[in-house]
Amino acid sequence: MSFNYRPRQLWLSGSFFLFVGLLLMSSCTDNPNATTPSGTASAEQAQKFMTDAETRLLELGIKAARADWVKSTFVTDDTEALAAAANEVLIGATTELAEESRRYEALDLSPELRRKLKLLKLSLTLPAPKDPAERSELTKITASMEGDYGKGKYCPDGDKGKCLSLTELEQIMGSSRDPEELKRAWAGWHQIAIPIRKDYVRFVELSNKGAKEMGFKDTGAMWRSKYDMEPDAFAAEMERLWQQVKPLYDSLYTYTRRKLAEKYGPQVVAEDKPIPAHLLGNMWAQGWANIYPLLAPANADRGYDLTATLKSRNTDARQMVRFGEGFFTSLGFEALPASFWERSMFTKPADREVVCHASAWDIDYEKDVRLKMCIQINEEDFSVVHHELGHNYYQMAYAKQPFLFRESANDAFHEAIGDTVALSVTPPYLKQLGLIETVPQPSADIGFLLNRALDKVAFLPFGYLVDQWRWKVFSGEVGPNDYNKAWWELREKYQGVAAPVARSEQDFDPGAKYHVPANTPYARYFLAAILQFQFHRALCREAGFNGPLYQCSIYGNKRAGEKLKAMLEMGSSRPWPEALKAMTGEDKMDATAIIDYFAPLKTWLDEQNAARR
């Protein structure tokens, strides 16, 4: 599961992003009566300040985005230096504007202006103490943790000449069926996090101090405050959603554990104990699609090979994107601008290094949207193209909003929209495009749903527990002496997995997941996994579709397109419940949609599980 679009908050990558977060957050306060710079201020001055600030940040943001684009599509030391320099200028401007904005916090401001100030303050994730020495220490710690993770390698038997990167280890985790080889790869990667542990303890202390100086109970409470509700209410909302999906996960889990026991034997996988985490096809056991061949039901062949069809028709990368564009124009959206086709990168150039990871870019926050992707002619990338264009069309839709509202309703909405669009890449849609001749019989759909559930459903508890752990750490409920113990308690409670080798407090297994040392909140991914199905159900309902939800595609339906467009155009101008209601008619997140989507699979899984009792 990845967060592929390039949001405005990611102007600043790596240590630069962290550094500007420190500077910005340390200059803000949640207390409207806090001491402000000398001089009085009026609401009119506050409005002028915001107008000027948005103009300035837009200009600098465009320059930074262009430099970053060049860096990603022409990787050299020089382009990296130019991108860094553009980011440094943005850092200085952001810091200055954040400090000046304190003058207006106690004023009676319009709801729109107050929302902009709030979004400016809460758009970053790392509070820092006001003390310069502590702020500097936190800057160094955050850079060190991310650097240690990025440099991490596993060197079997200490042989520095045979070290394995995370990419190489992930390939082993996804393809090997040797439990001992998998165990070595798993343990080898997790040892890279041990040096991060002591830094993380101090990081929590300093970050919490900064959050408290801003008026929050702790850093976790600050993160939960980003969702237009009280922090404790947001935590309760996350738990409510998890309880809705837990029965579906439990059915998938029970089936998976039994099949793994059949593969590896009860001495490796006992049917009454947690699944060893190294056997699920992924370094963190967060997605299980790689072990689908071990779980596939009989008669799972859907009767077509989209990859083979695309290749036999000599489909090229540009045509793959044209298919995606056609999906959106069929809904009533405008065609992609000419600049998109001129400036995007669809294939890997032969003459230079580029970053191939698929991402959707918004260079000028108006119409200069781009796709950066090394497209392969296969079924997976056919779907990924639709996903990424979902981000681009979201970016174009909210371009008419004021600058600080040119973002998704909350940080989960953007990714959820991309995935919502991908859910409409169904056999009926492929038949309409002439890419398949007949729609498979429903009897072949269980394999499809199982494969998708191993990606979507299996992820849910992991998506939930990462921030569960951090919230407990930030609040002090879990102290440094119990970091690893608490991590595995949560993983067993929610995922039902256990470490494959003995663990202790000498280890720091949370740090083996990038988002922990990089201080990237994770709740957004859990929410996006829920929202995409709620969006899909609402759009299918608007389109008048009455069949099984997983068979629905909104391709060609203008009514569904109007609903989608109305929500996208709102950007972040209103609290997310209002944006949700504009498209779905519901102002609460609702996980029953994912239950509806996988209903036939749930019935089949329960039948399989009952037959073994």
Residues 428 and 529 in one domain: yes
Residues 325 and 386 both lie in one domain: yes
294 and 154 in one domain?
Answer: yes
SS (H, E, C) 44-79: HHHHHHHHHHHHHHHHHHHHHHHHHHHHHHCCCHHH
State the amino acid at position 265 in one-letter form.
G
Range from 70-79, 226-235, 367-376, 425-434 carrying the lowest mean pLDDT:
70-79
Range with top average pLDDT, 12-26, 114-128, 201-215, 565-579: 565-579
> Does a structural domain hold residue 216?
no
The predicted structure's pLDDT at residue 219:
94
Give the residue with greater pLDDT, 286 vs 41.
286
The answer on pLDDT for 557 being more than 80 is yes
Query: CA–CA separation, 506 vs 549, rounded Å?
Result: 47
- Does residue 215 lie in a domain region? no
Same domain for 312 and 295? no
Helix or strand run (H / E) with residue 518: none
What pLDDT band is residue 39 in, cutting at 50, 70 and 90? low
Is 610 inside a domain boundary? Answer: no
In this structure, of 37-46, 185-194, 352-361, the range with the lowest mean pLDDT score is 37-46
CA 168 to each of CA 276, 406, 422, 499: distance values in angstroms, whole numbers, following the listed order: 21, 38, 28, 21
Neighbours of 313 (CB within 10 A): 12
pLDDT of residue 130: 79
pTM (global) more than 0.85: yes
**Residue 491 shares a structural domain with residue 591:** no
Q: Distance between CA 123 and CA 112 in Å, rounded?
A: 16
Tell me how many domains the chain contains: 3
Q: How far apart are CA 582 and CA 135, in angstroms?
A: 42
Provide mean pLDDT across the span 329-335.
97
3-class SS shares of the chain: helix, strand, coil, % to 5: 65, 0, 35
Q: pLDDT (tens digit, 9 = 90+) per residue, 57-101?
A: 899 889 989 998 998 899 888 988 888 788 667 755 765 776 677
Residue with tokens 């790596």: 14
Determine, yes or no, domain membership for 162.
Answer: yes
Please name the helix (run of DSSP H) or strand (run of DSSP E) that holds residue 577, with its range, or none: helix 576-584
**Are 100 and 171 part of one and the same domain?**
no
Looking at the structure, tell me whether residues 84 and 190 fall in a common domain. no
Boundary-marking domain end, from 500, 517, 534? 517
**Alpha carbon distance 606, 594 (integer Å):** 17
Residue 88 lies in a domain: yes
Q: For residues 427 and 555, state if they share a domain.
A: yes
Which pLDDT value is given to residue 4? 52
Secondary structure class of 100 (helix, strand, coil): helix
Which residue would you say has higher pLDDT here, 28 or 108?
A: 108
Least confident range from 242-256, 353-367, 383-397, 404-418: namely 353-367
* Domain presence at residue 582: yes
Together in a domain, 111 and 241: no
Question: In which band, very low, low, confident or very high, does the pLDDT at 405 lie, cut at 50, 70 and 90?
Answer: very high
Q: Is residue 122 very low, low, confident or very high in pLDDT (cuts 50, 70, 90)?
A: confident
Query: What is the DSSP-derived secondary structure letter of residue 30?
Result: S
The predicted model gives 453-482 an average pLDDT of: 97
Q: Are residues 114 and 242 in the same domain?
A: no
In which domain, by residue range, is 234 found? 150-203+229-301+449-462+469-517
For residue 209, is it within any domain?
Answer: no
pLDDT class of 461 with cuts at 50, 70, 90? very high
Domain identity same for 485 and 597? no
Give the residue-averaged pLDDT of 492-514.
97
Instruction: Say yes or no: 330 and 352 in one domain.
Output: yes
Q: Cα-flanking dihedrals φ and ψ of residue 369, to 5°?
A: -95, 150
Indicate the average pLDDT of the chain. 89
Any domain includes 258? yes
Can you give the pLDDT at residue 19? 42
